Amino acid sequence: MVATTASANVSGLTGRDAASRLRADGPNTVAPPPRRHLVTRIAHQLTDPLVVLLIAAAAVTSVLGDYPDTAVILLVVVVNTVIGVSQEVRADAAVTALDRMTAPTARVVRDGRHLVIPAADVVRDDLVHLEPGDVVPADLRLREAHRFQVDEAALTGESVPVAQEAGADVYAGTVVVTGRAAGTVVRTGPASALGRIAQLVATTRPGPTPLQRRLAGLSRTLGITALVLSAVVFAIGVASGRAAIDMAITAVSLVVAAVPESLPAVVTLALALGARRMAGARAIPRRLHAVETLGSVTVVASDKTGTLTEGRMAVQQAVAAHGVTYRVRGSGYSPAGELFDAADHPVAAPPALRDLARAVLLCNDATLTPPDGENPQWTAVGDPMEAALVAFAGRCGLDPEAERAAWTRVAEVPFDQDTRRMTTVHRRPDGGYLLVCKGAPESVLAAPLVERTPSGMLSNAYRMAAAGLRVLAVATAESDAAPDLRTVNDLRPAGLVAVGDPLRAQAPGIATAFDDAGIHLVLITGDHPATAAAIGSQLGIWRGGDGVVRGDEGGVTAYGVGDRRVFARIQPEQKLDIIAALQERGHVVAMTGDGVNDAPALRRADIGVAMGGGTEVARQAADLVLVDDNLATVGAAVAEGRRIYDNIRRFLRYALAGGTAEILVMLAGPFLGLAVPLLPAQILWINLLTHGLPGVALGAEPAEPGTMRRPPRSPQESVLGAGLLRSVLLAGSLLAAVVLAAAVGASALDLPWQSVAFVVLGLGQLGIALAVRAPRRAGGGRNHALTAAVAVSALMQLAGVLVPPLRDLLGTEYLSANDLAACAAVATLPGLAVWLAERASGPRNSIPATGSATRMGPAGGVIE
């Protein structure tokens, strides 16, 4: 049978077999979210309450034989539906594209080659390799397993690592915690126990974002307000003797025109397109809500290794048992290098240093690979720090492979983040046993493990940590009989090694840029407080005298956290407490993580940030995935989030000011001798021109200058807050006043005043669209779509009085070129006023250029 041959084969399936199985069995996914059919989408648009009102109005006008009004109303319905559906489709396409970019992957062997493929393409009998942090992609039978443990929380709800041997079954959705394994797929897709990974893989689309929900609430309030005010217009009209049915249709048109019904579509599209732009900038948002939340992030809590540092580790200093310090030089992971004594003279490694080097080489799981055709450098498999220790052993004159073969490992206690140490036992080449323990100095050099540590060694450890190095202490014991690993004591200190990992060159700049944007960069590390403080000070986020929060001394609390920005000796689970403490202090927290144990923290943070190079679990738990593992990219994503929020407010300012003006004109007109200021068809025509193209184009405005020089907005602030409502009412009133004045003036001059009101109101709104656009940045491009949209809409507006068939449709009258020029001149006034007010108030929410207003205050406490 094909299945057995294939599963027995270490070169995996052939690509052709895999493809035919994929066709036969279907993709390895839970049922994908159903695609919304076009008809459903259209039906959804047509059942919107406002559209229902319009359709009813169209029915009434056609019964009354008022065909021009029917035509305009139906045109509005069609255009609204087309815009709504097309925005929805574009938004969905953008979100689907993002989903694809962060879809889970699996490591398989096909045609004898190791490949990373989308987990959805895994088929029966595929040979899958598993490493820590992988999410098991399908139900597998293990063919080999080395110290392999999986967390079956997704299966059992209990988060305890379970050891699995070759021959055992592991299930889709469980997470590899340690070790490695290879297995053959037995079941995929719905046939596997896959339903349970649904929540991990998150193929289901999440509900509306908080902003979308708030805006839906706002739309309702606006709808009710517009309804009430239109009822007043209706009453005034009927009281002054106009036909009730005419006034009813006028009132309906007014409600439709005053409510920005395209708001939800504009917001969804702005978020989705923003998400796509972020992805282009190498930060892939996995949920739409991340796009808006990013704009209000106040704390970025970052890992140290690999995120702020380059993750290129190298042993820089070593202190041997006899207390002498040596400096080590070399390049990358190459085992070649030089040693220098305290006086900086090159030396050969003395026996005490060789013993230390052998100890860290044996108590170590990393291996080095020499350069080859593909790779011009030495490369490492395993933990980068342990790889650095192997290179160090080489630089001390040892041959790593020969040593490991001569000193076979017979027992071990793997590295544990709780105890911060690792222990191994080796058979000595000359008989007897050697026990090696390496780890954090305070856990290796303390009783009962080690009885007496020379005080010089402790001060050396502190000195090297304070230079920003990660310090490991090593202790050993020799015995004739195999030692019992449960009761290890009486070890002798064998020395210290200090590992350096250079700070990324851009890291201090990132910290400053975040400070300018009112965002606090916070450093979280498992390293010693002195190392953490040294790195913090290189980053510019820590000064002598500032406190360091220690995870190994009691719990992390909001009080303890205070304004401190450096966290040391933190274990992954404590990141949850840090997030809680920061949130309690009112912060919106973005937290980075890439390890197996980081997933809960990534979920708990307001924005979980995973590195593209991190583990699958971390990626799947995160809201934002950084493709380039570069923290600066978070800054770019925050800028994009802020820009989108600004643009949504721009749209609101423009659309609501127009709606306010329309209602005010209709309310006040009758009192100024303008019985019916605008006919229903005219109101709807203006609605069509203003809400359609210019509204959508506003969403594409570029970022304002200084976007990253102001503090984040408070997440509690209303979307109409910070003066937006006032400015809407002012601009709306001003526009209404200008329209009414123009109409009154025209009527005095015996001109067709209603058409004047129609032209001034339409052009005036377009003027406001231009006024609220983002101030231009030096060298920044313009949003030409907006200019074009405004130009097209303005021409259509003029066509409404110039083109005879449109005149019949809209009930307008001819206006001469001079009259139109006068209308256009008057219509620029409200926009001009908004523009001037905008410039006079300067960049919004600006903060002092130094950013000092938002820097964290001095924190108490000094590290010991």
Cβ proximity of 274 and 596 under 8 Å: no
Q: Choose which of 189, 439, 811, 830 interacts with ligand ATP (CB under 6 A).
A: 439
Q: In 219-251, which positions are buried (b, 16+ CB within 10 angstroms) versus exposed (e)?
A: beebbebbbebbeebbebbeeeebeeebbbbbb
Task: Pick between residue 437 and residue 822 the one whose CB is nearest to ligand ATP.
Answer: 437
- Is position 496 an interface residue for ligand ATP (rule: CB under 6 A)? no
152: left (phi over 0), alpha (psi -120 to 50) or beta: alpha
Residue 421 engages ligand ATP in binding (rule: CB under 6 A)? yes
Task: Quote the CA–CA distance of 597 and 491 in Å, as a whole number.
Answer: 31
* Residue from 61, 149, 424, 525 binding ligand ATP (CB under 6 A): 525
In sequence order, the 6+-apart residues with CB closer than 8 A to the CB of 284 are 98, 101, 102, 278, 624, 625, 627
As measured in angstroms, the least distance from the Cβ of 479 to ligand ATP is 21
State the minimum distance, in angstroms, from the CB of residue 455 to ligand ATP: 20
396 vs 444 by CB, closer to ligand ATP: 444
Rounded to whole angstroms, the Cα distance separating 528 from 193 reads 43
Min separation Cβ 404 and ligand ATP, Å: 16
- Binding segment for ligand ATP (CB under 6 A), chosen from 28-36, 222-230, 300-308, 851-859, is 300-308
Is 303 a binding residue for ligand ATP by CB under 6 A? The answer is: yes
Nearer to ligand ATP, 110 or 575 (CB): 575
Q: Find the binding residues for ligand ATP in span 462-481 (CB under 6 A).
A: 470, 472
Rounded to whole angstroms, how far apart are CA atoms 239 and 702?
Answer: 49
User: Does 526 contact ligand ATP by CB under 6 A?
Assistant: yes
Alpha-carbon distance 109 to 128, whole Å?
7
According to CB under 6 A, which one of 286, 287, 438, 504 is a site residue for ligand ATP?
Answer: 438
Please say which residue, 470 or 650, places its beta carbon nearer to ligand ATP. 470
Residue 710 touches ligand ATP, criterion: CB under 6 A: no
According to DSSP, residue 430 is labeled T
Judged by CB under 6 A, the residue of 417, 489, 506, 841 near ligand ATP is 417
**Contact present, 458 and 452 (Cβ < 8 Å):** no
The verdict on 305 binding ligand ATP (CB under 6 A) reads: yes
Q: Which is nearer to ligand ATP, 525 or 690 (CB)?
A: 525
Structure tokens at 300: 């970025």
Q: Determine if 422 is a binding residue for ligand ATP (CB under 6 A).
A: yes
Under 8 Å CB-to-CB from 705, ≥6 apart: which residues? 775, 776, 777, 778, 780, 843
Least CB distance to ligand ATP at residue 496 (A): 11
Q: Which two tokens stand for residue 165?
A: 């041997």
Residues in 202-221 at the binding interface with ligand ATP, rule: CB under 6 A: none
Q: Is 390 in the site for ligand ATP (CB under 6 A)?
A: no
Quote the least distance from Cβ 204 to ligand ATP, whole Å.
32
Stretch that binds ligand ATP, among 104-112, 140-148, 299-307, 633-641 (CB under 6 A): 299-307
CB of 419 to ligand ATP, least distance (A): 9
Residue 677 has what DSSP assignment?
S
Residue 303 or 819 having the CB closest to ligand ATP? 303
What is the smallest separation between the CB atom of 319 and ligand ATP, expressed in angstroms? Answer: 15
Name the minimum Å distance from CB 642 to ligand ATP: 29
> Is there binding between residue 420 and ligand ATP (CB under 6 A)?
yes
Q: Minimum CB separation from ligand ATP for residue 591, in Å?
A: 12
Question: At its nearest, how many Å lie between ligand ATP and the CB of residue 443?
Answer: 8
| Contacting residue, 407, 415, 514, 542, with ligand ATP by CB under 6 A | 415
Cβ-contact 198, 155 below 8 angstroms: no
CB of 422 to ligand ATP, least distance (A): 4
Binding part of the chain for ligand ATP, among 80-88, 381-389, 685-693, 835-843 by CB under 6 A, reads 381-389
> Which member of 194, 385, 566, 794 binds ligand ATP (CB under 6 A)?
385
Residue 303 is among the residues annotated as catalytic for this protein: yes
Site size for ligand ATP (CB under 6 A): 19
Binding to ligand ATP by residue 833, rule CB under 6 A?
Answer: no
Select from 68-76, 134-142, 334-342, 414-422 the region that touches ligand ATP (CB under 6 A).
Answer: 414-422
For strand 520-524 and strand 299-303, is the pairing parallel, antiparallel, or unpaired? parallel
Residues 633-652 vs ligand ATP: string with x where CB under 6 A?
--------------------
The alpha-helical segments, DSSP class H, found in 467-594 are 507-516, 529-539, 558-561, 574-584
CA-based nearest residue to 185, from 228, 129, 247: 129
CA-CA distance, 662 to 735, in Å (whole number)? 9
Spot the catalytic one: 66, 125, 126, 303.
Answer: 303
Contact between 21 and ligand ATP by CB under 6 A: the answer reads no
Q: State yes or no: residue 386 binds ligand ATP (CB under 6 A).
A: yes
Among 13, 108, 440, 588, binds ligand ATP (CB under 6 A): 440
Q: Tell me which stretch binds ligand ATP (CB under 6 A): 151-159, 238-246, 438-446, 703-711.
A: 438-446
**Does 564 sit near ligand ATP (CB under 6 A)?**
no
Burial of 85 (0-12, 13-18, 19+ CB in 10 A): middle
Among 48, 92, 131, 383, the residue binding ligand ATP under the rule CB under 6 A is 383
- Cβ-based nearer residue to ligand ATP, 416 or 584: 416
The Cβ of residue 151 has, within 10 Å, a number of other Cβ atoms equal to: 21
419 binds ligand ATP, rule: CB under 6 A? no
Q: How far is the CB of 468 from ligand ATP (least distance, A)?
A: 11
Q: Which is nearer to ligand ATP, 374 or 418 (CB)?
A: 418
Backbone dihedral angles phi then psi of residue 543, each to the nearest 5 degrees: -125, 150
User: Crossing angle, helix 680-691 and helix 753-771, to 10 degrees?
Assistant: 20
Kindly report the CA angle at 225 between 220 and 227, in degrees rounded to 5? 95
- SS3 for 376-426 is CCCEEECCHHHHHHHHHHHHCCCCHHHHHHHCCEEEEEEEECCCCEEEEEE
In sequence order, what are the beta bridge partners of 161? Answer: 151
Number of residues that make up the chain: 864
* Integer Cα distance of 317 and 325 in angstroms: 7
Q: What is the b/e burial string over 343-368, where b = at least 16 CB atoms within 10 angstroms of the residue's CB?
A: eeeeeebeebbbbbbbbbbbbbbbeb
Q: Is 723 exposed, middle or buried (0-12, 13-18, 19+ CB in 10 A)?
A: exposed
CB of 383 to ligand ATP, least distance (A): 5
Per CB under 6 A, 304 contacts ligand ATP: yes
Which residue, 438 or 550, has its beta carbon nearer to ligand ATP? 438
Strand 470-479 and strand 433-439: the pairing is antiparallel
* Number of residue whose CB is nearest ligand ATP: 526
| Contact call for residues 171 and 193 (beta carbons, < 8 A) | yes
Q: Between residues 362 and 742, which has the closer beta carbon with respect to ligand ATP?
A: 362
Site for ligand ATP in 225-284 (CB under 6 A): none
Task: Name residue 151's beta-bridge partners.
Answer: 161, 175
Contacts 24+ apart (CB under 8 A), 243-247: 245/60, 245/64
Candidate ranges 6-14, 391-399, 412-420, 745-753; the one touching ligand ATP (CB under 6 A): 412-420
What is the C-alpha R_g of the chain?
Answer: 34
Q: Would you please indicate which residues are annotated as catalytic (active-site) residues?
A: 303
Contacts with ligand ATP by CB under 6 A lie at 303-305, 383, 385-386, 415, 417, 420-422, 438-440, 470, 472, 525-527
